[in-house]
Amino acid sequence: MTISKLLVANRGEIAARVVRTARVKGIKTAVLRHSSEQEGPAHLIADEVVTIEGSTPVAAYLDIAQIVEAAQRIGADAVHPGYGFLSENAAFVAALEKAGITFVGPTSEVIDLMGDKIRARAFVEERGFPVAPSAIEDDDPATFVERSRAVGYPLLIKPSAGGGGKGMRVVRSAADYAEGFAAAQREARSAFGDDTILVEKYVESGRHVEVQVMGDTHGHVVHLFERDCSTQRRHQKVLEEAPAPAITEEQRAAITGAAVALAAQCGYTGAGTVEFLLDNATGEFYFLEMNTRLQVEHPVTEEVVRVRGQRVDLVELQLRVATGQPLGIDQADVTLEGHAIEARVYAEDSFGGFLPQAGRAGEVRWPTGDRVRVDGDRGTVTLLETAGGPR
């Protein structure tokens, strides 16, 4: 199949990012715009702008029926979800599938499976991949507290649904358990509408390593090496490095091999990230979760990964896979060149407990130069520095 018109169901930096690659491939593009939004870079470079309505912009961008109807109305063959909003919503993908519109990403079944931490963990464990010691509330609610405490402190309490660090709590003693559990449930219920809880052993000296995978509809999966995202604030990633600086070649081979095997076993198509926790003290690693979408931090991978000596464009690979084409990449074709670091910029209220705070920046100056890449649209900016010579 071919894609003649692509609707990007997102906004800001990622919408512009997807449009730029689609235009290079000769695909007509359309982007969404809420009636209250200002014109952004994506609106200026897309072939078409589709107005969506809702009580707030966020409500409009989460309106599955409205976005599917918009795609049908403008004759879009495919929808790219970007990241955030509906990018990991199985119901959205199922609605597109029913409407005969190609989703640039995995199937609704795979998103549904890997989007639920408990189901994903069971799937991974049943197939022999390593998982951290844990207790799951749904297995037996009556004994959950006893079983979770038996895992041993410190514990990481987290929601089964959702991601992005929301609802996670580290509990270091029995005295803090009840309060931490209740707080995690409240935030999970508020953020995801589901307060099912999973408790895992918290690894104090762990490194958070994620593997970029890409699969096609012909059952072929490759990895595009890994990123380290251990520097976090409130379980939100702040710095991303590619390749990971604190692992051995043997650990890299084991972790990337596990990611590829897992993606292949769940029939994964498109771009995805398998996340692992690496215990520095023991060298063991455990499956954490799988993100069934392109991630914010994909630029660091693009800066250091080469396919047969050429730079990689992850969005281009996504579009290629979505049309049913084979990746055309063998694992031996994929190499590393240089090192890249990405920094996310967070806004916090220093007078309100440093809680996240939206607002307007009066003046921002971004660095320039041969080794600097800035991806941004007003408030959403990716800044990374690459080593290994001028770009």
What homologous superfamily is domain 133-201 in, according to CATH?
ATP-grasp fold, A domain (3.30.1490.20)
Whether the predicted pLDDT of 165 surpasses 70: no
Whether the predicted pLDDT of 197 surpasses 60: yes
Q: Which of the residues 207, 227, 293, 320 is marked catalytic? A: 293
Over range 112-131, report the average pLDDT.
91
- Cα–Cα dist 260/263, whole Å: 5
Higher confidence at residue 135 or residue 69?
A: 69
Over range 321-339, report the average pLDDT.
97
pLDDT in tens, 63-114: 999 999 999 999 999 999 999 899 999 999 999 999 999 999 999 999 999 9
Q: Amino acid identity of 40?
A: G
| Apex 262 CA angle, 256 and 268, nearest 5 | 110
- Which of 30-34, 332-336, 368-372 has the weakest average pLDDT? 368-372
Q: How confident is the model at residue 232 (pLDDT cuts 50, 70, 90)?
A: confident
Matching fold, domains 5-104 and 206-386: no
CB 87 within 8 Å of CB 270: no
Domain boundaries, the chain: 5-104, 133-201, 206-386
Q: Which pairing describes strands 48-52 and 28-34: parallel, antiparallel, or unpaired?
A: parallel
Whether the predicted pLDDT of 303 surpasses 90: yes
Q: What is the pLDDT of residue 149?
A: 85
Q: What is the pLDDT of residue 388?
A: 41
Q: What is the pLDDT of residue 335?
A: 98
Over range 260-278, report the average pLDDT.
96
Structure tokens at 104: 């640039």
Whether the predicted pLDDT of 386 surpasses 60: no
Structure tokens at 94: 């199922």
Whether the predicted pLDDT of 381 surpasses 50: no
CB 120 within 8 Å of CB 289: yes
Q: What is the pLDDT of residue 19?
A: 97
DSSP, collapsed to helix, strand or coil, labels residue 34 as strand
Q: What is the pLDDT of residue 164?
A: 62
- Cα–Cα dist 373/384, whole Å: 5
Structure tokens at 215: 């699969």
Over range 16-28, report the average pLDDT.
96
Number of neighbouring beta carbons within 10 Å of residue 285 = 22
Whether the predicted pLDDT of 383 surpasses 50: no
Exposed, middle or buried by CB within 10 Å (0-12, 13-18, 19+), for 7?
buried
Q: What is the pLDDT of residue 62?
A: 96
Q: What is the pLDDT of residue 52?
A: 97
In 151-220, beta strands by DSSP E: 155-159, 169-171, 197-201, 206-215
Number of neighbouring beta carbons within 10 Å of residue 38 = 7
Q: What is the pLDDT of residue 139?
A: 73
Mean model confidence pLDDT for the chain: 89
Q: What is the pLDDT of residue 30?
A: 98
DSSP, collapsed to helix, strand or coil, labels residue 201 as strand
Over range 219-246, report the average pLDDT.
92
Instruction: Give, in words, the CATH class of 206-386.
Output: alpha beta
Percent of the chain topping pLDDT 70: 95
Give the distance from CA 321 to its chain's centroid. 18
- CA 248, 249, 251, 255 dihedral sign is positive
The verdict on whether 233 is a catalytic residue reads no
- Which of 44-58, 232-246, 248-262 has the weakest average pLDDT? 232-246
Pick the CATH number of 5-104 from 3.10.20.440, 3.40.50.410, 1.10.1370.10, 3.40.50.20: 3.40.50.20
Q: What is the pLDDT of residue 158?
A: 83
- Which of 4-8, 127-131, 375-379 has the weakest average pLDDT? 375-379
